[in-house]
Amino acid sequence: MTPVLYLFRAVGYGLLLLTLFDVVSAIIPPQFSNPGWQFQTAGGFVERSAVPLIGFILVFYDDRDARKKRELLVLRLLSWISLLIGIFYLALVVVFFLTPQGLNDAAQAQVKAQFEPEITKQQQIQAQFEKAQPAQIDAFMKNNRVTGMDAPAFKSKMMQNAALTEKNLKERMALTNNGQRLALIKNAVKWALGAMVTGVLFIKIWAGTSWARQ
């Protein structure tokens, strides 16, 4: 075996070993009941799929020539593993189609919990000033040392400010929701396509290494 072939195979086995470390690190501790963990972990597998693909190609490079018997047993196992990995990546596509809606609902609930208290506060301010009597507004202005305007003008200004703040908060909440939804969809589509391509490539590796299973 030439030094170049030896180097190819050594690097290939090294990349597969590093991939194994990544997989163990990603799934421990497991959180299979957590859709967010499922989504991000599956996405991580897709993002790092180039490393095991290159590793398999380097390991299988140059067919059976100058292979020891023990290595042929390893290659037979790796050939079948490549098929299982291919099926696994194709199965990940289901994750990217099923989990985004639930994740989007949870994200929107968090955004609502963040903005809703302040929106409610502004609505209460409008309601309070709407029902307030002139004497109450005068007392409020006096307590807060407001000068330069009469009670009706102050009431109108406060209601307008509260309404404008409420509108701005709702717009920010909608923008946040839309941004999160768009990012979720983009990742789901990108990772789903990546999982399909990766799955097909691993199955092609399995089909192209039939010599290792003989």
Give the domain range for residue 41.
3-213
The mean pLDDT value for 139-166 works out to 89
- Cα gap 198→201, rounded to integer Å: 5
- Per-residue pLDDT of 95-143, as tens digits, reads 999 999 899 999 999 999 999 999 999 999 999 988 888 888 888 888 8
**To 10 degrees, what angle do helices 50-60 and 3-27 make?**
150
User: What local confidence, expressed as pLDDT, does residue 1 receive?
Assistant: 61
pLDDT band, residue 51 (cuts 50/70/90):
very high
More confidently predicted of 66 and 84: 84
Residue 92 · residue 46 · CB < 8 Å = yes
Counting the structural domains of the chain, the total is 1
DSSP per-residue codes, the chain: --HHHHHHHHHHHHHHHHHHHHHHHHHSS--TT-HHHHHHHHHHHHHTTHHHHHHHHHHHTTTTTT--HHHHHHHHHHHHHHHHHHHHHHHHHHHHHHHHHHHHHHHHHHHHHHHHHHHHHHHHHHHHHHH--HHHHHHHHHHTT--SS-HHHHHHHHHHHHHHHHHHHHHHHHHHHHHHHHHHHHHHHHHHHHHHHHHHHHHHHHHHTGGGG-
- Cα gap 83→203, rounded to integer Å: 5
Report yes or no on whether pTM surpasses 0.85: no
- Cα gap 16→87, rounded to integer Å: 18
Residue 209 · residue 202 · CB < 8 Å = no
The answer to whether residue 187 scores a pLDDT higher than 70 is yes
Residues 6+ apart with CB under 8 A from 46: 89, 92, 191, 194, 195, 198
The mean pLDDT value for 57-86 works out to 89
The mean pLDDT value for 157-176 works out to 95
